[in-house]
Chain A
């Protein structure tokens, strides 16, 4: 299975070589490192996913001595590794460029959001295709606009406040709770993807 993860990294080599310096540029320009981190992690992870999405590649991977469980699991573990690379670069980048240590709360927040996003994207993409995610996100955005306009006009403010509260809250217990919730979601998504993929017909 670790061969599958290594394969994803090898295939992403050139993408990583372009994206990671770009990440440093963002850091130099003092952009919010949380959001930059989330965007970069998700882009890299979904790019690795899209590389394997063609029917012919599914046929190749399934004909090689791997089980479907391993193929799905490699994506979930790989996502974790790609995210760690991005976090490391942000951490080191901030340390070198701004001489500051990235707050562990920021990192936790970033990691949690990426994991939540991946937990939603992967099963969806296994069931349908990642290209439909654009369509789904447009539809989702429309729903969001309807909610903002008609039901909860200050949704954005509430979310912003909520994030602020999360980042300032001091109790370790709350963070532990969030971390556990995210891990549970990730694990459930993992199991769901395995189920979906085992039934997939190429």
Chain B
């Protein structure tokens, strides 16, 4: 299977934060959701992928090309959406289109007009008067109007009302039908991912925890509940994180089968949500450091 995005052994450090030996891939033709808490490196990773930041060491390649020699070629094939307004504020959407259009070889005015109509966007109002939702629709319209093969979005659903969130996911779903496009987007609204994502990439504190197919997560991971008498130094090591209380413990495992073998019927196994996994992984990292 072809990789559209490849990061290999990327290091990037800032004051008080670093990405350590970060490697990940995004597969062509699929939707990959990028999850992790606030400030763990999601936006940094996206900026590295967009070449807004250069890695201290390691390589970033898109479509098998590197930015050093093929910067414009790569960017021609990407549509991007950021979670903040990146357009000029004192212009209208039509003027913004006129500014952006000549930079793309494959710009398609019909497609642009189609999305403007679908999203009911005002063409002649200044962009600074746009609400958060309209802003996101405008970004998306621009991102989708030049037949990009890869759509990269940083928190596209944050601040959107639930109705448009669903519409957005439907639009993305339709886009994926020809199998040629790839979507990579970060979010912390994990329910969005359940509707659309094929793969989940999880990052925590600048480290890549896993990239898995969505259904595999449910197969591997489990939330385990049981009495305190089951826990000792040995069994505790089997879990990623454990929360103890007077009534018993709640723990997360990524080896569901093994826990079943060890504890059998003595524990209660539940299907974890992505939020459970994010929450427990964070707690686990704090416990063992």
* Chain A residues engaging chain B, CB cutoff 8 angstroms: 3, 6-7, 10-11, 51, 56-57, 59-60, 62-67, 201-202
Contacts and interface: CB of A to CB of B under 8 A. Distances in A.
Nearest to B95: A10
A65 B71 CA distance: 7
B86 A201 contact: no
B100 interface: yes
Nearest to B82: A59
B88 interface: yes
A59 B52 contact: yes
B95 A57 contact: no
A201 B103 contact: no
A59 B82 CA distance: 9
**Interface of chain A, main secondary structure:** helix
Contacts of A51: 88
Which of A57, A59, A66, A202 is most buried by chain B, counting CB atoms within 10 A of its CB? A59
B237 interface: no
Contacts of A201: 53
B115 interface: no
A39 to B, nearest CB: 24
Contacts of B78: 63
Contact of B76 (A7, A59, A65, A67): A65
B80 interface: yes
A56 B127 CA distance: 14
Contact of A65 (B87, B91, B103): B103
A7 B75 contact: no
Nearest to B78: A63
B85 interface: yes
Interface string B28-51: 000000000000000000010011
Contacts of B95: 10
A63 B88 contact: no
Interface string B64-84: 000000011101101010101
A59 B86 contact: yes
Contacts of A11: 88, 91, 99
B75 A64 contact: yes
A61 to B, nearest CB: 9
Contacts of A7: 99
29 contacts: A3-B99, A3-B103, A6-B102, A10-B99, A11-B91, A51-B88, A56-B86, A56-B87, A57-B88, A59-B86, A60-B86, A60-B87, A62-B50, A62-B51, A62-B52, A63-B52, A63-B78, A63-B82, A64-B75, A64-B100, A64-B103, A64-B104, A65-B73, A65-B75, A65-B103, A66-B72, A66-B103, A67-B71, A67-B72
A174 to B, nearest CB: 43
A63 B80 contact: yes
A201 B52 CA distance: 7
Contacts of A66: 72, 75, 103
A169 to B, nearest CB: 46
B98 interface: yes
B63 to A, nearest CB: 13
A64 B84 CA distance: 16
- Listed from nearest, the 10 A-B pairs whose CB atoms lie closest are A65-B75, A60-B86, A3-B102, A56-B86, A65-B72, A65-B76, A7-B99, A64-B103, A63-B80, A59-B86
